[in-house]
Amino acid sequence: MTGVATSTLSKIENNKMSPTFDVVTRIMSGLKISPAYLFTDTRTITDDHTPTVDRRDNPVSLSIPGAEYEILCADNGSKEMFTTIITLETTEHNELIGHAGEEFLLVLSGTLEVSFKDKPPIQLSKDECLYFNSRTPHSFRAASDTPARFLAVSNKSAFDDARDSDNNPISAMHKLRDLILK
């Protein structure tokens, strides 16, 4: 489903190898899951609708080769948006991925290039933003020698779980998510 070799998946599952940005992207695409699902720690999620303050004293973050994700206000499960600051070092585009929802990007530093299927790439510099339908296959890369740091906001539909044809959750998705959150 992912196009990732079984031996590579086994090494990742057994903590013998850390996945690269490209491998994580291919796994998410193959399992039809969003970054929101992978990088949110449900152990601390609340379901009330009270305001959530994130003072950044104990950030929820994940580093993989080529990228770092900082999940903002991660402890509010009732939120309608998923907000992340991504620092992207990779200068090569990965496979184009589409997923549920819509996205908003705001470049905080560096230059970000966003590629879309059948469209010319778009380069964004500091303080420039982009809004798009996430179902359109897309890919990101740092377009300069310095990392691209940007705010990414997805709406709640990006949380949609991957399901099989009988509408059952795909168990491999849950296992991968737990592995990444370790």
Closest alpha carbon to 125 in 113, 146, 111: 111
pLDDT of residue 39: 57
Distance (Å, whole) CA 27 – CA 179:
13
Which range, of 33-37, 115-119, 174-178, averages the lowest pLDDT?
174-178
Q: Which residue bears the tokens 């998705």?
A: 173
pTM of the model: 0.66
pLDDT tens, position by position, 77-134 = 556 777 889 999 988 877 777 767 789 999 999 999 999 988 999 999 999 999 998 8
Query: Based on the number of CB atoms within 10 Å of its own CB, is 158 exposed (0-12), middle (13-18) or buried (19 or more)?
Result: buried
Q: What is the b/e burial string over 91-107, where b = at least 16 CB atoms within 10 angstroms of the residue's CB?
A: eeebeebebbbebebbb
Mean pLDDT of the chain: 76
With contact defined as beta carbons under 8 Å apart, do 69 and 118 qualify? no
Indicate whether 180 pLDDT > 60.
no
Q: Using CA atoms, how far apart are residues 99 and 122, in angstroms rounded to an integer?
A: 19
Task: Report helix, strand or coil for 142.
Answer: strand
171 burial type by CB count under 10 A (0-12 exposed, 13-18 middle, 19+ buried): exposed
Nearest residue to 27 (alpha-carbon basis) of 181, 182, 175:
175
In order of their start, the domains of the chain are 6-160+169-181 (2.60.120.10)
Per-position DSSP letters for 49-111, written without gaps between them: -S-----SSS-EEEEETTEEEEEETTTBTT-SEEEEEEEE---S----B--SSEEEEEEEES-
CA angle 132, 135, 137 (to 5 degrees): 90
